[in-house]
Amino acid sequence: MKQINKIPKAGLAIIGGSGTYSINFPGDLHLPGLKIIDRKSFSTPFGKSPEFTLFEMNGKTVLTVRMHGWRAGVKRADASRQIFWVFEQAGVRNILAEGGVGSISIDMTLRNFIIPDDYIDLSLRKDVHISDKYLLIMRDPLCPELIDILIKTCIKIFPDRKVSRAVYAVTDGRHFESRAEVRMIKSLGGDVVGQSLSPEVYLAREIGACYAGIYLIVNRAEGIGPDWSHRELKDIFFQEAVNIGKVIIDSLKLINKKKRCKCSRLRKKTLLK
């Protein structure tokens, strides 16, 4: 893995999660017009970054990184800082993410897609930032325009599958939640539970980028219906990886540079001097 300091310019980025972890994304999609340019690691103020893949798709340059940059021996907070510092240096303005979640709402079943439009942060990773320059307003934490693009793409590719907006409850992991915790999350208004929406949603706002994600329901949260099977969860990850990848790539094609969302205006200079 090459480690260098020169970061290429890219307006688009993808944060890969558990949904595409079982494939070599995006190469294994074998899509026409997709060209892998390079794979590199970068030096950052927060340590050596994970490896990024730089590729082109229909004239658009994209940076992508696997599994949120998480790797053995590196704290998740540091991995997040490394990734978003690289994105900031690259000039990234739109970020799509993917992953797997557990369903709390009984209306959301296995292999359905959810697109979060809000979140509840129950993690302990809240004080993860690149600088102290900004006040981050989380009024609309996920970009409405990117959400609409993801929903339209899902419906187009998978017309027979349910796609739902949802409130994503974030927990720390690496363990799953207890039944009592799931009952608490449900009472707070959480529809699904997972471990990878924050601090990413804060860091995206900090660098002035739009952020949204698509998540596959891979299990029922504890106490919601029958106990889930680890084998079934594994099968879903392996069988759906290409499908998730195609939704992400097709959504990228629809992102317009002249977006009208207010995401970048929800970052203000801090009042603390």
DSSP string, 250-268: HHHHH--SS----GGGGEE
In three-state secondary structure terms, 188 is: helix
Confidence of residue 205 (pLDDT cuts 50, 70, 90): very high
Q: How far apart are CA 196 and CA 119, in angstroms?
A: 11
Tally Cβ neighbours within 10 Å of residue 139. Answer: 8
pLDDT over threshold 70, residue 162: yes
Residue 129: CB atoms within 10 A of its CB come to 17
Answer whether residue 202 shows pLDDT above 70: yes
CA dist 205 and 234 (Å) reads 32
Domain range list for the chain: 9-259
Residue 29: its pLDDT value, please? Answer: 95
- The yes or no reply on domain 9-259 and CATH 3.40.190.10 is no
* Residue type, position 164, single letter: S
* Residue 92: per-residue pLDDT: 97
Can you tell me the mean pLDDT for 223-231?
A: 91
pLDDT at 2: 52
Average pLDDT, the chain: 93
Average pLDDT of the residues in 234-248:
95
User: Which of the pair, 140 or 173, is modelled with greater confidence?
Assistant: 140
- Model confidence over 18-77: pLDDT tens digits? 999 999 999 999 999 899 999 999 999 999 999 999 999 988 999 999 999 999 999 999
- CA 137, CA 183: separation in Å to the nearest integer? 28
Is it the case that residue 212 has pLDDT exceeding 60? yes
Q: Percentage of the chain with pLDDT > 70?
A: 98
Strands 12-15 and 60-65: parallel
pLDDT at 259: 84
What pLDDT shows up at residue 258? 79
pLDDT of residue 273: 67
CB of 65 closer than 8 Å to CB of 53? yes
> Could you tell me if 102 and 194 are in contact, meaning their C-beta atoms sit under 8 angstroms apart?
yes
Closest CA to 201 of 139, 265, 250, 112: 139
| Dihedral sign (CA 47, 74, 11, 91) | negative
107 to each of 177, 199, 217, how far by Cα in Å?
20, 27, 11
Cα 120 to Cα 168: distance, rounded to the nearest angstrom: 6
pLDDT, greater one: 168 or 175: 168
> pLDDT tens, 77-98?
999 999 999 999 999 999 999 9
Peptide bond into 26 cis (omega under 30): yes
The model's pTM? 0.95
Q: How much is the pLDDT for 93?
A: 96
Considering only CA atoms, which of 19, 12, 93, 22 is closest in space to residue 52? 12
Joined together, the tokens standing for residue 201 give 């949603």
